[in-house]
Structure 1
Amino acid sequence: MVGTDDTIWAADYAAGKLASFTLDDDGTAVGEEQIEIPELSNMKKPQISAVGNTAVVFDEASGELLTSKGGKATLENAANARIQAPGPDSGNVAIALDQSLATVSLSGKDINYQQVDTAGTPHRPGASRLVHLCRMADQWRIPAILR
């Protein structure tokens, strides 16, 4: 997933790791940082996004929300929920639920639910950009055919 600051975030859920990096002109990953978040390995239906330079991972199955900066929260009634598309720096992330919009502080300490008048299947708030990557010689790269 690509953040609004062009940072690429990749999650290895099985290993419980989150990686961030940018790409040089040749499509090679530079400045890779890895963050260990063991709880990622428990997620059944993970979704990833970014708010500014903070990655946010949300598990629709459990309602658990984790950030790259250590924030943690659990949302109620998370089935079918959708995390916002990557957005600019803010203190909160938006999660669309069946009957409400949740705003969660990136620290995980505050969750606010705004009820909506109608129910339905949530859609991801905002627009997003994706990048296709492959791991070659222990480096993330964009395949030449996609450049």
Structure 2
Amino acid sequence: MQPFMRLKRPFLPALLALFLLTGCATGQQDDLYTQLGGEPGISVIVEDFTLRLADDPEIVTFFANSNIDLFVASLKDQLCDIADGPCRYEGPPMDRAHQHMGLTDAHFNTVVQHMQAALIRQEVPVGARNQLLGRLARLHRDIMKLQ
């Protein structure tokens, strides 16, 4: 029984640390929707983001013929949906919404930077920012599909 105890002892601190870290990771963190501030937080993020797009002369041109109120409402629903909130995005698929816009990866990256800046400004925790941006990054292929 002594060899078993020797084998077990070195693993106890590691096992305890893993247990504590896992408990902290799941027990103290809220879901992404909650970390974004729920509906009010997402609304503020979208407002900040939209103002950043409007202030960017290269990006704002893509919105020249857009219904901004519809864009804002649709983006709120999309972020809420992507963050596993109660909303459902019912807008057009990303490939169709962005078809023939002539977007480049540089445009896409600029928009991502604006979203990142909005999330930072609204004090969204780093983990939640990375999680949201990771989920949004999955849209890249569809957004750039018909360019």
- TM range, normalised to the smaller chain? under 0.3
More strand per residue: 1 or 2?
1
If the length of structure 2 is used for normalisation, what is the TM-score? 0.23
TM-score of the superposition, structure 1-length normalised?
Answer: 0.23
Rg comparison, structure with higher value:
2
- Taking CA–CA contacts closer than 8 Å with sequence separation of 6 or more, which of the two structures ends up with the larger relative contact order? 2
